[in-house]
Amino acid sequence: MGSYTGPKVRLTRRLGVPIAETNKHLNPRKPNRPGMHGFRRGRPSLYGKQLAEKQKLAFYYNVREKQFRHYMEKASAAKKDNVTALTEYLESRLDNVVRRLGWARTIWQARQSVAHGHVLVNGRKVDRPSYNLRVGDTVTIRERSQKYIKACAETCEGPLPPEWLQVEENKLEGRMTRLPTPEDVRLPFEVEYGLVVEYYGR
């Protein structure tokens, strides 16, 4: 699966869950699946259920198939349970942290902000959305991009930043104080992580 560039609400309709935390995804104009037979939902097989659960996470974090498989391999090799390790890898991605800090409305906008060089990590420009932050890393916005990011932040409809991120009030600055846990993650839908693990364990 490459980086998706098509209509985003189409993903929400296809999977039946809000892929982004904006009103357009939470209340889609057409709730049924895309296509002429979208009103009919078949009975999915076990593989279909596993694939759907994986796709929910992959699209929510805007992660490609190759990257997601890499995260699962690292999570399986980690000295902790798979769900905790996978959560750490996905949540600590730079584009996701920008979203969690409230500097972008969606993961796609956050990815674009990082790729265009607006974001600094420990004072250095990082333009790789998949960059994983470490505990103690500080995220800021370069000076000439602050007006643009502030405008994006004003339109953000998402929840407040999670407890594992410390935010400086009235400043575009955030710091990762600890690793995120599954309990910290507030997804706009339910995920059966067991099915995701089974999908990659086939």
Query: Number of structural domains, the chain?
Result: 2
Check whether residue 129 and residue 85 sit in a common domain: no
Check whether residue 19 and residue 59 sit in a common domain: yes
Check whether residue 130 and residue 71 sit in a common domain: no
Domain that holds residue 63: 8-89+187-200
Give a yes or no: residue 49 inside a domain: yes
Which residues, 6 or more positions from 92, have their beta carbon under 8 angstroms from its beta carbon? 132, 133, 134, 176, 179, 180
Chain segment 72-123, per-residue pLDDT in tens: 999 999 989 999 999 999 999 999 999 999 999 999 999 999 999 999 999 9
Give a yes or no: residue 148 inside a domain: yes
Chain segment 133-185, per-residue pLDDT in tens: 999 999 999 999 999 898 888 877 667 899 999 998 778 999 999 999 999 99
Check whether residue 71 and residue 109 sit in a common domain: no
pLDDT score recorded for residue 4: 72
Check whether residue 147 and residue 77 sit in a common domain: no
Check whether residue 105 and residue 73 sit in a common domain: no
Residue 90 has a CB neighbour count (10 Å cut-off) of 21
Residue 153 has a CB neighbour count (10 Å cut-off) of 16
Mean pLDDT of 122-136: 97
DSSP letters, 122-155, are: TTEE---TTPBP-TT-EEEE-GGGHHHHHHHHHT
Give a yes or no: residue 3 inside a domain: no
pTM above 0.85, yes or no: yes
Mean pLDDT of 48-57: 93
Instruction: Read off the pLDDT band of 1 (50, 70, 90).
Output: very low
The pair of structure tokens assigned to 179 is 């690793």
Give a yes or no: residue 166 inside a domain: yes
Q: What is the domain-level CATH number for residue 13?
A: 1.10.1050.10
Instruction: Read off the pLDDT band of 29 (50, 70, 90).
Output: confident
The pair of structure tokens assigned to 115 is 């790729």
